[in-house]
Amino acid sequence: MSEFQNNVTKADAYLDRFKSNVTGHFINGEFTSGSGSETFENVTPIDNSSLGRVVKGTSADVDAACESAQNAFPEWRDMPGAERKKLLNHFADKIVERAEEIALVESVDCGQAIRFMKQAAVRGAANFRYFADKAPEAQNGLALHQEEHTNYTLRSPIGPVGIITPWNTPFMLSTWKIAPALAAGCTVVHKPAELTPLSAMLLAEIAQSAGIPDGVWNTVNGFGEVAGKRLTEHPAIKAVALVGEGATGSHIMRQGADTLKRVHFELGGKNPVIVFDDADFDRALDAVVFMIYSLNGQRCTSSSRLLIQSGIRDKFIAALEARVKNLKVGHSLDPSTEVGPLVHTNHFEKVVSYFDIAREDGAHTAVGGVRREDLGPGNYVAPTLFTQANSSMRIAQEEIFGPVLTAISFDTEAEAIQIANDTDYGLSGYIWTENTGRAMRMARHVEAGMLWVNSENNRNLPSPFGGVKMSGIGRDGGDYSFDFYMETKNVCVAHGTHRVPVLGR
Binding flag, residue 248, ligand NAD (CB under 6 A): yes
Q: Which of 104, 216, 243, 431 binds ligand NAD (CB under 6 A)?
A: 243
Among 102, 104, 114, 164, binds ligand NAD (CB under 6 A): 164
Among 30, 41, 148, 225, binds ligand NAD (CB under 6 A): 225
63 is an interface residue for ligand NAD by CB under 6 A: no
Q: Give the shortest CB-268-to-ligand NAD separation in angstroms.
A: 3
CB-based contacts of 224, cutoff 8 Å, min separation 6: 164, 191, 194, 248, 251
Report if residue 244 touches ligand NAD, rule: CB under 6 A.
yes
What secondary structure letter does DSSP report for 184?
H
Asked if residue 52 binds ligand NAD (CB under 6 A), the reply is no
Using CB under 6 A, count the residues that bind ligand NAD: 32
Establish if 215 lies at the interface with ligand NAD (CB under 6 A). no
Cα within 13 Å of Cα(223), Cβ side: 7
**Catalytic site residue 300?**
yes
Alpha-helix residue ranges (DSSP H) falling in 79-215: 81-97, 99-110, 114-134, 170-184, 198-209
Name beta bridge partners: 240.
162, 263
What's the count of helices (H) and strands (E) in the chain, helices before strands? Answer: 16, 20
**Is residue 168 at the binding interface for ligand NAD, with CB under 6 A as the rule?**
yes
DSSP 45-98: TTT--EEEEEE---HHHHHHHHHHHHHHHHHHHHS-HHHHHHHHHHHHHHHHHT
In this complex, which beta carbon is closest to ligand NAD, that of residue 401 or of residue 430? Answer: 401
Strands laid side by side in the 30-32 sheet: 30-32, 25-27, 217-219, 188-191, 161-164, 239-243, 262-266, 472-473
- Nearest residue to 135 via CA among 170, 96, 186: 186
DSSP letter string, 408-442:
EEESSHHHHHHHHT-SS--SEEEEE-S-HHHHHHH
Whichever of 66 and 252 has its CB closer to ligand NAD, that residue is 252
Binding mask 250-279 for ligand NAD (x = CB under 6 A): -xx--x----------xxxx----------
Minimum CB–partner distance for residue 204 and ligand NAD (Å):
15
Q: Which residues, in sequence order, are bridge partners of residue 219?
A: 26, 190
CB 505 to ligand NAD: min, Å: 57
* Of residues 300 and 416, the one with the C-beta less far from ligand NAD: 300
Distance CA 317, CA 319 (A): 5
- Min dist. Cβ of residue 225 to ligand NAD (A): 6
Looking at the Cβ atoms of 261 and 313, the one nearer to ligand NAD is 261
Q: Interface with ligand NAD includes 404 (CB under 6 A)?
A: no
**Residue among 100 and 245 whose Cβ is closer to ligand NAD:** 245
- Active-site residue among 106, 110, 300, 399? 300
Between 56 and 191, name the residue whose CB sits nearer to ligand NAD. Answer: 191
Q: Is 118 exposed, middle or buried (0-12, 13-18, 19+ CB in 10 A)?
A: middle
Measured N-to-C along each axis, helices 81-97 and 198-209 cross at an angle, to the nearest 10 degrees, of: 130
User: Using CB under 6 A as the criterion, which residues of the chain lie in contact with ligand NAD when the complex forms?
Assistant: 164-168, 173, 191, 193-194, 223-225, 228-229, 232, 243-245, 248, 251-252, 255, 266-269, 300, 399, 401, 427, 467, 472
Active site residues: 266, 300
